Chain A
């Protein structure tokens, strides 16, 4: 039996290559994700190990507001200079250095634009001298207040050299400095993990980065010879008491790396999610291939049964074949995944400003994932055809059986049930009744819906395919192609369903994002009563900001009626992490953002008063007159009295504090500015004047409202593009499926094709016939996908109605594009099978058994 299986596998290796390829692609995605995140993870380990190499013990104050990895860089509370003296007094301390290092030092490059880092921090520091890690490559250390040194990577990115006058944005507006030196790191590195660093003299760093004199971000301690790091840490902690975090250098690097890895593991999960989609599509493909192969081998299998093989042996033979395909595909997929992971890690390293990569590693998870997924998926997909094979009666060997059309009743009933389960899960998940399991309920619902629809597809396929094919029925090859595609509804259905999954997901996501975009745009156009907006595109963790002085100057421009600058920060409000905002002009809430008061007065705000949105007030159980404690990134906790509550909308923040509070924000500068013009004032007259004011704030620009809305929603476009690229893999696999189905059908119909050629069908006509079949199948799949995707998208949009997505926007253009694309996919997929069909040897085909 084993021998027979092996021989039959070898005989059909070409047919199995395509389905194997589907597994290879899926496995590649899975193992590539693991290899990528593992390599990046170890690279970051190395980065932080280097960064804390010369530090035995580190002392910092606890951050006032603890932040998660995805919420930005936490701002640690300042360490007073006096603490440095106390640390120096502890026995066993050889050397203690006060360090200033905070995110937000933005260098203006030679082109007048701010140099961005795309992720890693932009540190503003005090120069503490050369060390084992840091050496000056050029020039000298900063001595005067207007002198700085920068790391080599930043100097290169900015295009500046020693002796240049360069502008730097910090907590304070743009200041000019002379670049007096450029430094690098041990091992010839230009940066540590892509971070940009600007080093000032210590007093300047304290003033510009921390906003107060004689404080540090942390104290770096070197232990005396013979003193253990842990012991010294405990001694210092005991000497300083509460309020300080004292850690060894090792702990510091481990903690820093752990934070980043949290982000990486999220990234990994996203990639694995897309891999799962690709594998689901691959499953359809493998199922179809094995079904067709079993159908074609009916006589062979029946003969085996006739000469004494048991049904179990037949199942074993088919499953064994699947195991072989799965194993080979997993090995290839793993190899490809390692390659792709390495390539992506390399690209990531380049993008992140020269992150030096740790050696490529293959984590156990990648290997286990590859083989687990590859084998399990293939075997599961082959199980159903195997069962069918075992039910072939021995008598079939003697008969000339064309695979009979089995009734679709069972499949249809099953499909209806599964679809209903999917719809139920979706409803449960989207209606918010699934508690903690919302996401998994929704994902399960989508999965069930896909499988259910796939099961229902054979039933739909007859009328729809016949309708689609009618377009081509004017020519004989077109008519034949149309009839062929309607011939085996199951086969057509599974092939089309594979394409459906990818297209449905892309359509669904497009519907949701377009609806979100449409709703936000509509709301913004309706509610934002500002003709000009100052803002910038965010390219790292820190949003762009501008000089607050611009606000006052802008208000003085003739024709400007109202100016508001918006500040924002994460804060602890009654102990709960919350996004808080400051409007430089509280009146803007009503007059620019069309907010309506539901309680109290929201038109003004005293220094000890604060406003809540109705939602935030409800969830925190506060009302007008409540006293609320707010801890900002800096300074001490403060108690405010709630003086007003406004109706929540997408445009309003949950909490608004008085302007004075902005000083203690992590970014004490406005992030956005809104200008309302007086009636009759001309936008084109005012804008150039605002542009002049922004000359020293190159991170932002001024735009009219339409451009601002476009800019805001363009972030969603980027997200959409990324999702489309990742889902493209699922579509590629579906295309393989179409090629495979067609190739197998061509093989199966060799005699028929021979007959057609014998009675005078030309080669070109033969090719056209196959192409029509492919196009009909792929357009059918795309139609299904667009329909299912629209349904899913509309359901999600409906569920998000309360979250502000009020308008259902159907991307007709995109849908048309998908259908057109499907037609092209069909033509492309048909190329090889069509050539094969056209080359069929007429005589051989007729004699074909």
Chain B
């Protein structure tokens, strides 16, 4: 069954009947089975699902980190499917931002250098006003000269958010951004992500398994067994938890 969600024409990222198969023969694993989804511009979307549901795979495929077996993926008006390494690199550099669960920063660079790294790689200069806004929003102005080892986990993750935001990408993909943080630091980061969507129109797609984190999103898409099974608009932690509980029982078959 294919549930098509997201009706708005202005999609920042789009998956069209995406299949992802790992291995072959006996060892074949179907990670995604015909997923179609649109992620609207200026919205904060969470992708949820139990372990092995394919949520990380979907995000990797959307971001051009992994190739799809069938179907197409688009970021803005760029078709990701079929791009070579140079094209994918350019896409990641210019249109996509990343926030990972851990190991997000280069240990040799200061916070400021880390934030500006994607722009210096691309040979671009940041818009100074926007840069100031980002720095102030993440609240790291007094930490800019520090190296990652001198920052707390929450601060490091905020630096990573700032790095993703400062280039104003089409879409930011966040992979369990709060997975390694305590609840307070996690809340800080999530608040900050939500604000950047509300106030600055940034598009964010976040993979998480934490209902509390998902509740910060405008919309939650649920995956199970490689397929989109449900969706919530304006979720709360409780509604997310309820939906998850319903999914849990059949999800056992997936693996």
Which residue numbers of A lie inside 8 Å of B, CB to CB?
A: 400, 402, 476, 480, 483-484, 486-487, 751-752, 755-763, 765, 842-843, 846
Please report the C-alpha to C-alpha distance between residue A752 and residue B120 in the assembled complex, in whole angstroms. 17
Task: Check if B60 is an interface residue, CB within 8 A of chain A.
Answer: yes
Does the CB pair A755–B104 fall under 8 Å? yes
Please report the C-alpha to C-alpha distance between residue A755 and residue B86 in the assembled complex, in whole angstroms. 16
Closest to A483 in B: B108
The 10 closest A-B pairs by CB, nearest first: A760-B93, A483-B108, A843-B65, A759-B118, A476-B120, A760-B92, A843-B66, A751-B103, A762-B89, A760-B121
Instruction: Write 8 A-B pairs (CB below 8 A) sorted by A numbering.
Output: A476-B117, A755-B103, A759-B121, A761-B121, A762-B89, A765-B121, A843-B66, A846-B103
Please report the C-alpha to C-alpha distance between residue A757 and residue B106 in the assembled complex, in whole angstroms. 12
In whole Å, how far is A201's beta carbon from the nearest beta carbon of chain B?
Answer: 86
Which applies to chain A's interface (DSSP): helix, strand, loop or mixed? Answer: helix
- Choose among A752, A756, A846 the residue with the greatest number of B CB atoms under 10 Å from its CB: A846
Please report the C-alpha to C-alpha distance between residue A761 and residue B109 in the assembled complex, in whole angstroms. 15
- Collect the chain B residues with CB atoms within 8 Å of residue A483's CB: 108-109
Given A476-B117, A476-B120, are A755 and B89 also a contact pair (CB < 8 Å)? no
Does the CB pair B65–A487 fall under 8 Å? no
Closest to A842 in B: B65
Does the CB pair B60–A760 fall under 8 Å? no
User: Which B residues, 8 to 25, have Cβ-Cβ distances below 8 Å to chain A?
Assistant: none
- Collect the chain A residues with CB atoms within 8 Å of residue B44's CB: none
Which applies to chain B's interface (DSSP): helix, strand, loop or mixed? Answer: helix
- Collect the chain A residues with CB atoms within 8 Å of residue B117's CB: 476, 756, 759
User: Which B residues, 66 to 116, have Cβ-Cβ distances below 8 Å to chain A?
Assistant: 66, 85-86, 89-90, 92-94, 97-98, 100, 102-104, 106-109
Please report the C-alpha to C-alpha distance between residue A484 and residue B104 in the assembled complex, in whole angstroms. 17
Closest to A843 in B: B65
Please report the C-alpha to C-alpha distance between residue A476 and residue B92 in the assembled complex, in whole angstroms. 17
A400-B102, A843-B65 known; 17 other A-B pairs, CB under 8 Å? A402-B107, A476-B121, A751-B103, A755-B100, A756-B106, A756-B117, A757-B92, A758-B92, A759-B92, A759-B98, A759-B118, A759-B121, A760-B90, A761-B121, A762-B86, A763-B89, A846-B65
Does the CB pair B108–A759 fall under 8 Å? no
Task: Check if B151 is an interface residue, CB within 8 A of chain A.
Answer: no
Q: How many residues of B contact A (CB 8 A)?
A: 27
In whole Å, how far is B77's beta carbon from the nearest beta carbon of chain A?
Answer: 19
- The number of inter-chain residue pairs (CB within 8 angstroms) is 64
Task: Check if B168 is an interface residue, CB within 8 A of chain A.
Answer: no
- Collect the chain B residues with CB atoms within 8 Å of residue A843's CB: 60, 65-66
- Collect the chain B residues with CB atoms within 8 Å of residue A487's CB: 107-108
Does the CB pair A757–B107 fall under 8 Å? no
Given A760-B121, A843-B60, are A480 and B98 also a contact pair (CB < 8 Å)? no
Closest to A764 in B: B86
Given A480-B108, A483-B108, are A759 and B100 also a contact pair (CB < 8 Å)? no
- Collect the chain B residues with CB atoms within 8 Å of residue A846's CB: 65, 100, 103
- Collect the chain A residues with CB atoms within 8 Å of residue B92's CB: 757-760
Which residue numbers of B lie inside 8 Å of A, CB to CB?
A: 60, 65-66, 85-86, 89-90, 92-94, 97-98, 100, 102-104, 106-109, 117-118, 120-122, 149, 163
- Collect the chain A residues with CB atoms within 8 Å of residue B93's CB: 759-760
Q: Contacting A755 at CB < 8 Å: which of B106, B108, B122? A: B106
Given A476-B120, A843-B60, are A758 and B106 also a contact pair (CB < 8 Å)? no
In whole Å, how far is B104's beta carbon from the nearest beta carbon of chain A?
Answer: 7
Please report the C-alpha to C-alpha distance between residue A758 and residue B104 in the assembled complex, in whole angstroms. 11
Does the CB pair A763–B106 fall under 8 Å? no
In whole Å, how far is A1's beta carbon from the nearest beta carbon of chain B?
Answer: 31
Q: Contacting A760 at CB < 8 Å: which of B100, B102, B103, B118? A: B118
Please report the C-alpha to C-alpha distance between residue A755 and residue B149 in the assembled complex, in whole angstroms. 17
- Collect the chain A residues with CB atoms within 8 Å of residue B149's CB: 402
Please report the C-alpha to C-alpha distance between residue A505 and residue B91 in the assembled complex, in whole angstroms. 51
Does the CB pair B108–A484 fall under 8 Å? yes
In whole Å, how far is B3's beta carbon from the nearest beta carbon of chain A?
Answer: 26
In whole Å, how far is A480's beta carbon from the nearest beta carbon of chain B?
Answer: 7
Does the CB pair A759–B163 fall under 8 Å? yes
In whole Å, how far is A294's beta carbon from the nearest beta carbon of chain B?
Answer: 20
- Collect the chain B residues with CB atoms within 8 Å of residue A402's CB: 107, 149
Please report the C-alpha to C-alpha distance between residue A481 and residue B65 in the assembled complex, in whole angstroms. 24
- Collect the chain B residues with CB atoms within 8 Å of residue A759's CB: 92-93, 97-98, 117-118, 121, 163
- Choose among B94, B107, B108 the residue with the greatest number of A CB atoms under 10 Å from its CB: B108
Does the CB pair B89–A757 fall under 8 Å? yes
- Collect the chain A residues with CB atoms within 8 Å of residue B98's CB: 755, 758-759
Does the CB pair B89–A761 fall under 8 Å? yes
Please report the C-alpha to C-alpha distance between residue A484 and residue B109 in the assembled complex, in whole angstroms. 10
In whole Å, how far is A769's beta carbon from the nearest beta carbon of chain B?
Answer: 10
- Collect the chain A residues with CB atoms within 8 Å of residue B121's CB: 476, 756, 759-762, 765
Please report the C-alpha to C-alpha distance between residue A591 and residue B94 in the assembled complex, in whole angstroms. 84
- Collect the chain A residues with CB atoms within 8 Å of residue B100's CB: 755, 846
Please report the C-alpha to C-alpha distance between residue A846 and residue B86 in the assembled complex, in whole angstroms. 19
Closest to A766 in B: B89
Does the CB pair A758–B85 fall under 8 Å? no
- Collect the chain A residues with CB atoms within 8 Å of residue B106's CB: 480, 752, 755-756
Does the CB pair A760–B122 fall under 8 Å? yes
Please report the C-alpha to C-alpha distance between residue A432 and residue B104 in the assembled complex, in whole angstroms. 61
In whole Å, how far is B99's beta carbon from the nearest beta carbon of chain A?
Answer: 11
Please report the C-alpha to C-alpha distance between residue A752 and residue B163 in the assembled complex, in whole angstroms. 15
Does the CB pair B89–A760 fall under 8 Å? yes
- Collect the chain B residues with CB atoms within 8 Å of residue A755's CB: 98, 100, 103-104, 106
- Collect the chain B residues with CB atoms within 8 Å of residue A476's CB: 117, 120-121
- Collect the chain B residues with CB atoms within 8 Å of residue A762's CB: 86, 89, 121
- Collect the chain B residues with CB atoms within 8 Å of residue A484's CB: 108
- Collect the chain A residues with CB atoms within 8 Å of residue B85's CB: 763
Please report the C-alpha to C-alpha distance between residue A755 and residue B107 in the assembled complex, in whole angstroms. 12
Please report the C-alpha to C-alpha distance between residue A842 and residue B103 in the assembled complex, in whole angstroms. 14
Please report the C-alpha to C-alpha distance between residue A761 and residue B97 in the assembled complex, in whole angstroms. 13
Please report the C-alpha to C-alpha distance between residue A478 and residue B97 in the assembled complex, in whole angstroms. 23
In whole Å, how far is A847's beta carbon from the nearest beta carbon of chain B?
Answer: 9
Closest to A839 in B: B85
In whole Å, how far is A842's beta carbon from the nearest beta carbon of chain B?
Answer: 6
Please report the C-alpha to C-alpha distance between residue A760 and residue B93 in the assembled complex, in whole angstroms. 4
- Collect the chain A residues with CB atoms within 8 Å of residue B65's CB: 758, 842-843, 846
In whole Å, how far is B75's beta carbon from the nearest beta carbon of chain A?
Answer: 13
Please report the C-alpha to C-alpha distance between residue A752 and residue B66 in the assembled complex, in whole angstroms. 18
- Collect the chain B residues with CB atoms within 8 Å of residue A763's CB: 85-86, 89
Does the CB pair B94–A760 fall under 8 Å? yes
- Collect the chain B residues with CB atoms within 8 Å of residue A760's CB: 89-90, 92-94, 118, 121-122
- Collect the chain A residues with CB atoms within 8 Å of residue B122's CB: 760
- Collect the chain B residues with CB atoms within 8 Å of residue A400's CB: 102
Given A483-B109, A759-B118, are A752 and B103 also a contact pair (CB < 8 Å)? yes
Please report the C-alpha to C-alpha distance between residue A846 and residue B149 in the assembled complex, in whole angstroms. 19
In whole Å, how far is B45's beta carbon from the nearest beta carbon of chain A?
Answer: 20
Please report the C-alpha to C-alpha distance between residue A763 and residue B90 in the assembled complex, in whole angstroms. 11
Please report the C-alpha to C-alpha distance between residue A842 and residue B163 in the assembled complex, in whole angstroms. 18
In whole Å, how far is A172's beta carbon from the nearest beta carbon of chain B?
Answer: 79
Closest to A751 in B: B103
Please report the C-alpha to C-alpha distance between residue A148 and residue B32 in the assembled complex, in whole angstroms. 97
In whole Å, how far is B192's beta carbon from the nearest beta carbon of chain A?
Answer: 19
